[in-house]
Amino acid sequence: MTLEWEQVLVDAEDPAKLGRWWAEALGWAVVDGSAETTEGGASGGEFEIRPSPDRLPGLLFVHVPERKTGKNRLHLDFRPDDQEAEVARLLAHGARHADVGQSEEDPWVVLADPEGNEFCVLGPRRQ
């Protein structure tokens, strides 16, 4: 039996807006932008991004009516070549620092996307 990891689903108040934010932050391709904006400004439906149209896994943003509360049970970790530069770039792109109980000695920086989903920007690999 073969099991292929297709995508990670992300609950979002506005899937299109959040999906576009992540596509720009990661430099990924939009493969399904069918989420549509409603009268209230939020989009319903789904919005999928991938590293490239034919490469998995992707991120699939789906509409939920409620706002995020509490810490994520699952989050993404990213390991850039230059942690400091990447944190600065993501903050300029609209991310913000998040406190999930990490210490100043931890070799990662916790950030949150515009809807409050936490993710980590890791430091260099230990050799």
Question: What is the chain's pLDDT, residue by residue, as a tens digit (127 residues)?
Answer: 789 999 999 999 999 999 999 999 999 999 987 766 555 555 567 999 999 999 999 999 999 988 888 888 899 999 999 999 999 999 999 999 999 888 888 999 999 999 999 999 999 888 7
pLDDT of residue 105: 87
CA distance 45 to 63: 6
CA distance 91 to 97: 8
pLDDT of residue 88: 98
Fold of domain 7-63: glyoxalase-related enzyme like fold (3.30.1900)
End-to-end CA distance of the chain: give it in Å, rounded.
35
pLDDT of residue 70: 84
Domain boundaries, the chain: 7-63, 76-122
In CATH terms, 76-122 corresponds, of 3.40.50.720, 1.10.10.60, 3.30.465.10, 3.10.180.10, to 3.10.180.10
pLDDT of residue 43: 58
CA distance 3 to 100: 32
pLDDT of residue 30: 96
